[in-house]
Amino acid sequence: MFARRLPLWRSSATCKPWQMGLSLRHGWERCQAWSCRGVNTTAEQGQQVNMQQNQVLEDLEMPVVRRETENLFQERPETGNQYLEDALLRSYLKAHLPPKVLEEVSQDLERFGNRLLTEVKPLGWECELNPPVFRQYDAWGQRVDHIITCSAWKRMKEISAEEGLIAEAYERRYSNWSRVHQAVKLYLFSTTSGGFNCPLAMTDGAAKVIESLGTPASLKNAFDHLTSRDPKKFWTSGQWMTERRGGSDVANGTETVARKQPDGTYRLYGFKWFTSAADSDVTLTLARIADAEGHVKQGSSGLSLFFLKVRDEDKKLNNIRVQRLKDKLGTRQMATAELWLDGAEAELISAEGRGVASISNMLNITRIHNVIGAVASMRRMISLSREYALKRVVFGKLLKDHPLHMQTIARMEVQTRGAFLLLMEIARLLGLAETNMASEQDQLLLRLLVPVAKLYTGKQASATVIEAMECFGGQGYMEDTGLPVIVRDTLVLSIWEGTTNILSLDVLRSLTKSRGQVIAVFFSTVQKKIELALSTAELEPAVKQMRAAISRLTQFIQGAGSKDAVTMELAARDFSYSLARIYAGALLIEHASRPDASAEDISAARRWCNQELCPVATEFKNRSYEAEESLMDSSLVYGSPPSTSRL
């Protein structure tokens, strides 16, 4: 009898017939004879062994590709037209857009959704597989500093023009609803764009800056190119702010110097450490103007804003040297570079010393684009997870039939709904502001919500896409599924255009600058939205929780007002989260209060409001923002209070 039966697929290390030039079957017979010496088997056992031998032989003789396919086969999740499959998007547009606008916009979005599926999505993957390459010298040793991008990237630029992804916002065909139309198209485009959504963000920002300056005659041509629908005329713009010291502190980190020329133009000299979309046609950048003695003014009041073309009429770089391309975690489809400005010709477009104020319009727009990218990545990963759950069988049933799995996706769905409505609210307010239809309250609210939404959705997106990655098990970790690309590209969204802490402090500045007016507008707007639900019994719990959160937030503001400035700085992050959760809750309740609201709309509002809506009040009660707690923060990080430097 067998004392122990070894797995038949494990042959002796010394018996490898395929290495000895023997046929598989002859080799197996030699191996079998050798391995069974001295072992007695019954006839029945021998028959079983022979059957297993034959099966193994069939597997070994099977073509390798076929064997691998049969060993592991999972059906790919396939999504269709993104617009038609996004019920929340369609219900939002139906609730807000005028009927005629809704009809035209819906037709455009359905058509665009089909184009994304058939044309844009394959191009996006090609961009991922063929990232930009830097060629510093030609074959004869001449320095060329050529950034080479793939044909798919160039085609993305053409499609962006054809679809009016920038033009739509500035043509204003639909008056104040044009920004909503543009935001939705960018939202649909984002995750299939192969990273081209990033240069579009900066292009939109540059156009906004030029428009806010009254579109000076010298910039009219540039504005026309930036907002063109003609692929042959369309330009993209960069945004060159970060220098060697890096970070958001441009007031103290900008070293680039501008020297005025006799003809009124300027020459820029300096080093730009992080320039996204380095292959763009034009850019906006900050620099310090040198006086006759070569001195410059420090601080933010010494910064001015400049416009420059990256290349001249002969396509040669404008006295710009490329040092290297950045090796990034994500957004690898886009060329990001370190650049030396060695006398780059530029035009001063802001008042001298008003560069930061002038470029703020660009930052506002790029932060909104950041929100678009965040919500788009959340929606894309949930859509794929949902489709996969309809096909993947685990433990004898489809994933969709496992309650815990459905609960996990449903929780992500609730977060995505809140983020989406925040995005639409910002786009709506921006559209009002750009068509002179915004009230003072609308403008204050927009100023507050942009940093709030940017910081909150950036964190939401990172958490959601990583959670959604788990829905695919090991396949979620495989590069060729495309899922890791979405995850990597999403992680930048909490960093680009200001980290969470930087933007939290910006939220505090908006409160201080408005002398408290903005928070009053926030409270009144939230109250109006939740009052819409008073006749909807199913929303009573959500309304009750919202009112409790508003009361707690009010108490925090009153209590923190008597503390020093450090208290509010320590609370800034939790305070911003509280604003985001409360306002998103109000938007979800408003959407669920519609006469034709679905059961899912009502459930999403209730579930959102079940979370901690006002974390800042909880932490304030726990004395987390006291001075002694701040000292303990340092002790926890370093093990003891930081010692004084002995330099």
pLDDT digits (tens, 9 = 90+) for 419-457: 999 999 999 999 999 999 999 999 999 999 999 999 999
Residue 379 near residue 192 (C-beta atoms within 8 A): no
The reported pLDDT for the residue numbered 101 is 98
Percent share of the chain, pLDDT over 90:
83
pLDDT of residue 75: 84
User: How many other CB atoms are found less than 10 A from the CB of residue 558?
Assistant: 9
Region of residue 192 (left: phi > 0; alpha: psi -120 to 50; beta: else): alpha
Query: Does 396 have pLDDT greater than 60?
Result: yes
Whether the pLDDT of residue 92 is over 90: the answer is yes
pLDDT at 351 over 60: yes
CA distances from 207 to 47, 103, 349, 508, 586 (A): 79, 28, 13, 28, 32
| Cα–Cα distance, 261 to 265 (Å, whole number) | 5
pLDDT beyond 60 at 348: yes
Q: How far apart are CA 463 and CA 54, in angstroms?
A: 50
At 540-596, the pLDDT tens digits run 999 999 999 999 999 999 999 888 889 999 999 999 999 999 999 999 999 999 999
Tokens, residue 340:
């030396």
Q: Cα–Cα distance between 35 and 49 in angstroms, integer?
A: 13
pLDDT band of 640, cuts 50, 70, 90: confident
Give the Cβ contact number of residue 108 at 10 Å. 17
* Residue ranges in 401-539 assigned as alpha helix (H): 403-434, 440-470, 483-491, 500-513, 517-531
Tokens matching residue 607: 């579930």
Q: Are 215 and 375 within 8 A, CB to CB?
A: no
For the chain, the straight-line distance linking the first and the last C-alpha, in angstroms and rounded, comes to 80
Compute the distance between CA of residue 604 and CA of residue 469 in angstroms, rounded to an integer: 22
Residue 246 has pLDDT above 90, yes or no: no
Bridge partners (DSSP) listed for residue 237: 282
CA distance readout (Å), 306 to 103, 191, 302, 344: 42, 32, 13, 11
Alpha-carbon distance of 353 to 297, in angstroms, equals: 9
Whether the per-residue pLDDT at 405 is higher than 80: the answer is: yes
Output the CA–CA distances (angstroms, integers) from residue 295 to 300, 302, 496, in the order listed. 15, 11, 32
